[in-house]
Structure 1
Amino acid sequence: MFLADTKADTIGILGSIFCLIHCLIFPVLVMGGMLNEEWSSHAEWVDFIFIILAISAVFFAARQSKNNTLKGLMWFSVAWFSASILLHETFNLALYSSMAASVVLVVLHSINFKNHQQRFHTKNATA
Protein backbone atom coordinates (compact mmCIF):
# COMPACT_ATOMS: atom_id res chain seq x y z
CA MET A 1 0.00 0.00 0.00
CA PHE A 2 2.88 2.37 0.79
CA LEU A 3 4.27 2.12 -2.76
CA ALA A 4 0.90 2.88 -4.33
CA ASP A 5 0.42 5.90 -2.04
CA THR A 6 3.82 7.41 -2.81
CA LYS A 7 4.05 6.68 -6.53
CA ALA A 8 2.35 9.97 -7.49
CA ASP A 9 4.76 11.94 -5.30
CA THR A 10 7.75 10.13 -6.79
CA ILE A 11 6.51 10.85 -10.31
CA GLY A 12 5.85 14.48 -9.34
CA ILE A 13 9.34 14.92 -7.90
CA LEU A 14 11.07 13.29 -10.87
CA GLY A 15 8.91 15.13 -13.41
CA SER A 16 9.68 18.49 -11.80
CA ILE A 17 13.39 17.73 -11.66
CA PHE A 18 13.41 16.67 -15.34
CA CYS A 19 11.55 19.87 -16.20
CA LEU A 20 14.20 21.92 -14.39
CA ILE A 21 16.96 20.09 -16.24
CA HIS A 22 15.16 20.66 -19.53
CA CYS A 23 14.66 24.37 -18.78
CA LEU A 24 18.31 24.85 -17.86
CA ILE A 25 20.01 22.75 -20.54
CA PHE A 26 17.79 23.25 -23.59
CA PRO A 27 18.53 27.01 -24.01
CA VAL A 28 22.25 26.33 -23.62
CA LEU A 29 22.11 23.73 -26.40
CA VAL A 30 20.30 26.18 -28.69
CA MET A 31 22.71 29.04 -27.91
CA GLY A 32 25.70 26.73 -28.28
CA GLY A 33 24.59 25.77 -31.78
CA MET A 34 23.96 22.12 -30.92
CA LEU A 35 20.26 22.61 -31.71
CA ASN A 36 18.89 25.09 -34.19
CA GLU A 37 15.93 27.42 -33.67
CA GLU A 38 13.80 25.45 -36.12
CA TRP A 39 14.16 22.28 -34.06
CA SER A 40 13.40 24.09 -30.82
CA SER A 41 10.09 25.38 -32.18
CA HIS A 42 9.04 21.76 -32.89
CA ALA A 43 9.89 20.69 -29.33
CA GLU A 44 7.00 22.59 -27.71
CA TRP A 45 5.19 19.29 -27.18
CA VAL A 46 7.66 18.56 -24.38
CA ASP A 47 6.13 21.46 -22.44
CA PHE A 48 2.72 19.83 -22.68
CA ILE A 49 4.11 16.53 -21.45
CA PHE A 50 5.51 18.26 -18.36
CA ILE A 51 2.16 19.97 -17.73
CA ILE A 52 0.18 16.72 -18.08
CA LEU A 53 2.67 14.88 -15.87
CA ALA A 54 2.54 17.60 -13.19
CA ILE A 55 -1.27 17.79 -13.14
CA SER A 56 -1.57 13.99 -13.00
CA ALA A 57 0.96 13.71 -10.18
CA VAL A 58 -0.79 16.42 -8.14
CA PHE A 59 -4.22 14.89 -8.79
CA PHE A 60 -3.21 11.45 -7.50
CA ALA A 61 -0.99 12.77 -4.68
CA ALA A 62 -3.68 15.17 -3.44
CA ARG A 63 -6.26 12.36 -3.42
CA GLN A 64 -4.13 10.47 -0.90
CA SER A 65 -3.16 13.47 1.23
CA LYS A 66 -4.91 14.18 4.52
CA ASN A 67 -3.49 17.71 4.75
CA ASN A 68 -5.88 20.20 3.11
CA THR A 69 -3.33 23.04 3.21
CA LEU A 70 -0.79 20.89 1.40
CA LYS A 71 -3.43 19.90 -1.17
CA GLY A 72 -4.28 23.55 -1.81
CA LEU A 73 -0.62 24.50 -2.15
CA MET A 74 -0.02 21.65 -4.57
CA TRP A 75 -2.96 22.70 -6.77
CA PHE A 76 -1.90 26.36 -6.65
CA SER A 77 1.67 25.41 -7.58
CA VAL A 78 0.65 23.19 -10.49
CA ALA A 79 -1.60 25.98 -11.81
CA TRP A 80 1.29 28.45 -11.45
CA PHE A 81 3.64 25.98 -13.14
CA SER A 82 1.23 25.33 -16.04
CA ALA A 83 0.48 29.01 -16.63
CA SER A 84 4.18 29.86 -16.56
CA ILE A 85 5.02 27.17 -19.11
CA LEU A 86 2.18 28.20 -21.40
CA LEU A 87 3.24 31.86 -21.22
CA HIS A 88 7.03 31.46 -21.48
CA GLU A 89 6.99 32.40 -25.17
CA THR A 90 5.11 35.62 -24.34
CA PHE A 91 6.81 36.79 -21.15
CA ASN A 92 10.55 36.46 -20.54
CA LEU A 93 10.16 36.01 -16.78
CA ALA A 94 7.72 33.13 -17.22
CA LEU A 95 10.63 30.74 -17.78
CA TYR A 96 12.08 31.65 -14.38
CA SER A 97 8.62 31.48 -12.87
CA SER A 98 8.11 27.94 -14.19
CA MET A 99 11.47 26.89 -12.75
CA ALA A 100 10.51 28.35 -9.36
CA ALA A 101 7.17 26.53 -9.51
CA SER A 102 9.05 23.30 -10.31
CA VAL A 103 11.18 23.73 -7.20
CA VAL A 104 8.06 24.39 -5.11
CA LEU A 105 6.42 21.25 -6.53
CA VAL A 106 9.50 19.18 -5.64
CA VAL A 107 9.33 20.50 -2.07
CA LEU A 108 5.58 19.92 -1.74
CA HIS A 109 5.72 16.40 -3.19
CA SER A 110 8.63 15.64 -0.84
CA ILE A 111 6.60 16.81 2.16
CA ASN A 112 3.61 14.77 1.01
CA PHE A 113 5.86 11.72 0.50
CA LYS A 114 7.24 12.12 4.01
CA ASN A 115 3.72 12.46 5.45
CA HIS A 116 2.69 9.21 3.69
CA GLN A 117 5.80 7.50 5.01
CA GLN A 118 5.08 8.58 8.60
CA ARG A 119 1.44 7.51 8.34
CA PHE A 120 2.42 4.13 6.90
CA HIS A 121 4.97 3.43 9.65
CA THR A 122 2.60 4.63 12.39
CA LYS A 123 -0.19 2.46 11.00
CA ASN A 124 2.06 -0.62 10.84
CA ALA A 125 3.50 0.00 14.33
CA THR A 126 0.03 -0.07 15.88
CA ALA A 127 -1.11 -3.15 13.91
Structure 2
Amino acid sequence: MKNKSAFLDILGISSATLCLIHCIVFPMLTIIPLGLSHNHWIDLVFALIGLYAVIRIGQKQANRYTMLLFWVSIVLIIGCVIFEIVSHHHSNLIYFGAFGLITAHFLNYKKHRENESKS
Protein backbone atom coordinates (compact mmCIF):
# COMPACT_ATOMS: atom_id res chain seq x y z
CA MET A 1 0.00 0.00 0.00
CA LYS A 2 2.87 2.36 0.78
CA ASN A 3 4.47 1.68 -2.60
CA LYS A 4 1.19 2.57 -4.32
CA SER A 5 1.10 5.95 -2.55
CA ALA A 6 4.74 6.61 -3.43
CA PHE A 7 3.97 5.69 -7.05
CA LEU A 8 1.03 8.13 -7.10
CA ASP A 9 3.21 10.89 -5.67
CA ILE A 10 5.93 10.25 -8.25
CA LEU A 11 3.28 10.17 -11.00
CA GLY A 12 1.86 13.45 -9.73
CA ILE A 13 5.25 15.14 -9.40
CA SER A 14 6.22 14.00 -12.91
CA SER A 15 2.94 15.04 -14.47
CA ALA A 16 2.85 18.46 -12.76
CA THR A 17 6.50 19.12 -13.62
CA LEU A 18 5.97 18.20 -17.27
CA CYS A 19 2.85 20.36 -17.31
CA LEU A 20 4.78 23.29 -15.83
CA ILE A 21 7.60 22.86 -18.35
CA HIS A 22 5.05 22.59 -21.16
CA CYS A 23 3.30 25.77 -20.01
CA ILE A 24 6.54 27.73 -19.68
CA VAL A 25 8.48 26.52 -22.73
CA PHE A 26 5.72 26.10 -25.31
CA PRO A 27 4.72 29.78 -25.49
CA MET A 28 8.38 30.60 -26.16
CA LEU A 29 8.48 28.05 -28.99
CA THR A 30 5.50 29.66 -30.72
CA ILE A 31 7.61 32.79 -31.26
CA ILE A 32 9.91 30.79 -33.52
CA PRO A 33 8.20 30.33 -36.91
CA LEU A 34 8.03 26.53 -36.84
CA GLY A 35 4.30 26.31 -37.51
CA LEU A 36 3.54 25.13 -33.97
CA SER A 37 0.25 26.00 -32.35
CA HIS A 38 -0.78 25.52 -28.75
CA ASN A 39 -3.01 22.52 -28.12
CA HIS A 40 -5.11 22.86 -24.97
CA TRP A 41 -5.94 19.15 -25.05
CA ILE A 42 -2.40 18.41 -23.87
CA ASP A 43 -3.08 20.61 -20.83
CA LEU A 44 -6.30 18.69 -20.23
CA VAL A 45 -4.44 15.35 -20.28
CA PHE A 46 -1.94 16.63 -17.70
CA ALA A 47 -4.84 17.93 -15.57
CA LEU A 48 -6.66 14.59 -15.71
CA ILE A 49 -3.52 12.66 -14.73
CA GLY A 50 -3.09 15.05 -11.82
CA LEU A 51 -6.75 14.70 -10.85
CA TYR A 52 -6.43 10.90 -10.84
CA ALA A 53 -3.40 11.07 -8.55
CA VAL A 54 -5.09 13.57 -6.19
CA ILE A 55 -8.27 11.48 -5.91
CA ARG A 56 -6.31 8.29 -5.22
CA ILE A 57 -4.07 9.99 -2.66
CA GLY A 58 -7.13 11.53 -1.01
CA GLN A 59 -8.44 8.03 -0.37
CA LYS A 60 -5.25 7.21 1.54
CA GLN A 61 -5.74 9.73 4.37
CA ALA A 62 -3.09 12.31 3.61
CA ASN A 63 -2.41 15.25 5.91
CA ARG A 64 -5.34 17.73 6.00
CA TYR A 65 -3.23 20.72 4.89
CA THR A 66 -1.54 18.73 2.17
CA MET A 67 -4.96 17.62 0.88
CA LEU A 68 -6.12 21.24 0.90
CA LEU A 69 -3.08 22.18 -1.19
CA PHE A 70 -3.78 19.24 -3.53
CA TRP A 71 -7.40 20.25 -4.10
CA VAL A 72 -6.80 24.00 -4.42
CA SER A 73 -4.02 23.33 -6.94
CA ILE A 74 -5.95 20.82 -9.05
CA VAL A 75 -9.08 22.99 -9.10
CA LEU A 76 -6.92 25.93 -10.16
CA ILE A 77 -5.34 23.91 -12.97
CA ILE A 78 -8.62 22.44 -14.23
CA GLY A 79 -10.25 25.88 -14.02
CA CYS A 80 -7.43 27.39 -16.09
CA VAL A 81 -7.65 24.61 -18.68
CA ILE A 82 -11.43 25.03 -18.99
CA PHE A 83 -10.96 28.80 -19.26
CA GLU A 84 -8.40 28.22 -22.03
CA ILE A 85 -10.68 25.83 -23.91
CA VAL A 86 -13.62 28.26 -23.74
CA SER A 87 -11.87 31.60 -24.27
CA HIS A 88 -8.65 30.57 -26.09
CA HIS A 89 -6.65 32.69 -23.64
CA HIS A 90 -3.92 31.32 -21.41
CA SER A 91 -4.18 32.11 -17.69
CA ASN A 92 -0.98 32.51 -15.71
CA LEU A 93 -2.69 31.02 -12.65
CA ILE A 94 -1.94 27.56 -14.06
CA TYR A 95 1.69 28.07 -13.00
CA PHE A 96 0.63 28.45 -9.36
CA GLY A 97 -1.54 25.34 -9.63
CA ALA A 98 1.29 23.27 -11.10
CA PHE A 99 3.75 24.52 -8.49
CA GLY A 100 1.19 23.77 -5.74
CA LEU A 101 0.72 20.21 -7.02
CA ILE A 102 4.46 19.62 -7.18
CA THR A 103 4.83 20.93 -3.63
CA ALA A 104 1.91 18.89 -2.26
CA HIS A 105 3.13 15.66 -3.89
CA PHE A 106 6.64 16.27 -2.61
CA LEU A 107 5.38 16.88 0.95
CA ASN A 108 3.16 13.78 0.81
CA TYR A 109 6.01 11.66 -0.58
CA LYS A 110 8.38 12.95 2.12
CA LYS A 111 5.80 12.21 4.85
CA HIS A 112 5.37 8.63 3.62
CA ARG A 113 9.15 8.10 3.46
CA GLU A 114 9.51 9.35 7.05
CA ASN A 115 6.70 7.04 8.22
CA GLU A 116 8.31 4.11 6.39
CA SER A 117 11.68 4.71 8.05
CA LYS A 118 10.05 4.84 11.50
CA SER A 119 8.33 1.49 10.96
**TM-score under structure 2 length normalisation:** 0.86
In the TM superposition, what are the counterparts of 1:32-43 in structure 2 within 5 Å? 32-37=32-37, 40=38, 43=39
User: Please, which runs of 5 or more residues in structure 1 have no aligned partner?
Assistant: none
The farther-off stretch of 96-105 and 83-92 is 83-92
Higher-Rg member (1/2): 1
Relative to its length, the structure with more helix (as a share) is 1
8 A contact 1:15–1:53 mirrored in 2: yes
CA contact (8 A) 1:8 1:57 kept: yes
Is the counterpart of residue 68 in structure 1 residue 64 in structure 2?
Answer: yes
Is the contact between residue 70 and residue 108 of structure 1 (CA under 8 Å) also seen in structure 2? yes
Q: CA deviation at 1:6?
A: 0.7
Q: Is the 8 A contact 1:77 1:101 kept in 2?
A: yes
Q: Does 1:23 align with 2:23?
A: yes
Does the CA-based 8 Å contact 2:70-2:101 persist in structure 1? yes
**2:50 partner amino acid:** A
Separation in 2 of the partners of 1:65 and 1:33?
48
When the two structures are superposed, what TM-score results if normalisation uses the length of structure 1?
0.82
2 CA distance for matches of 1:93 and 1:52?
Answer: 18
Work out the percentage of aligned pairs sharing the same amino acid. Answer: 22
Cα separation, 1, equivalents of 2:114 and 2:42:
35
Secondary structure of the equivalent of 1:88?
helix
